[in-house]
Amino acid sequence: MTATVERFANQQVTDVDSDHPFDPLVDLDGMWTVEVAERYLPIPGLPLVKYECWDGKLFISPYEAARNSYGAIELASAFRAGAREAGYYVYGTVNLTMGALDRWIQPDLTVLDSPQHGTWVAAEHCVMVVEFVSPSSVRRDHVNKPAACLQQGIAWFMTVELDAARDLAVVELRRLVDGRYELVTRAVSGQRMQMVEPFAADFDPADLLAR
């Protein structure tokens, strides 16, 4: 921790009489690390949210809509047998550190190469990141997070888009090739999403929709 962060970390946050009471979202802006996060997150008074960080800047977003939560559980179930046969482990949201203590993301699903039990998981253990795209996260899930995963050499990146109103599900799987993600396979509702790598899986994206 830097001296500045240590000073704030040691500050008495219960001093409500101060003209400027300590607010970690304001006073630690640009200085977040995993150590600071362990002390100050979750933020008291906020609803349950995702906390992600890039270069010390904290990003807060609501958890996925119910449709995506359901889809994530169904997708994990579709992955489980093939992943285990390949020696991989399917996790839900984890705190995935991206090569530095002030960088982490929280994927919707994460496939890891070994069992992990701690609060933080290093990107080197990540085989595949899965993001369920919502209207508020389009740029983050299609641009920012793939770029971050590219930097860490994460070999596989999957996006899922669910539209209950149109009874539509779209799944796209990309592989890291020559420094960029190339589309390997894509399927929509009514088609089979057939995967050979990084493990075998075969499902209809429609199965991810709550009906």
Ordered by where they begin, the domains of the chain are 3-61 (no CATH), 64-208 (3.90.1570.10)
Q: List the single range of 41-55, 102-116, 119-133 with lowest mean pLDDT.
A: 41-55
Predicted confidence (pLDDT) at residue 6 exceeds the cutoff of 60 = no
Residue whose tokens read 């998981």: 121
DSSP code string of 85-153: HTT-EEESS-EEE-SSTT-EE--SEEEESS---SSEEEGGGEEEEEEEE-GGGHHIIIIIHHHHHHHTT
| Tens-place pLDDT, residues 146-204 | 999 999 999 999 999 999 999 999 999 999 999 999 999 999 999 999 999 999 999 99
Cβ–Cβ under 8 Å, residues 207 and 76: no
pTM: 0.86
The predicted pLDDT at position 196 comes to 97
Residue 4 to residue 22: CA distance in whole angstroms? 14
**Lowest-confidence segment of 41-45, 87-91, 176-180, 191-195 by average pLDDT:** 41-45
For the chain, what is the total number of helices (H) and then of strands (E)? 6, 13
Is the per-residue pLDDT at 30 higher than 50? Answer: yes
Q: Rounded to the nearest 5 degrees, what angle is found at the Cα of 30, between the Cα atoms of 93 and 106?
A: 5
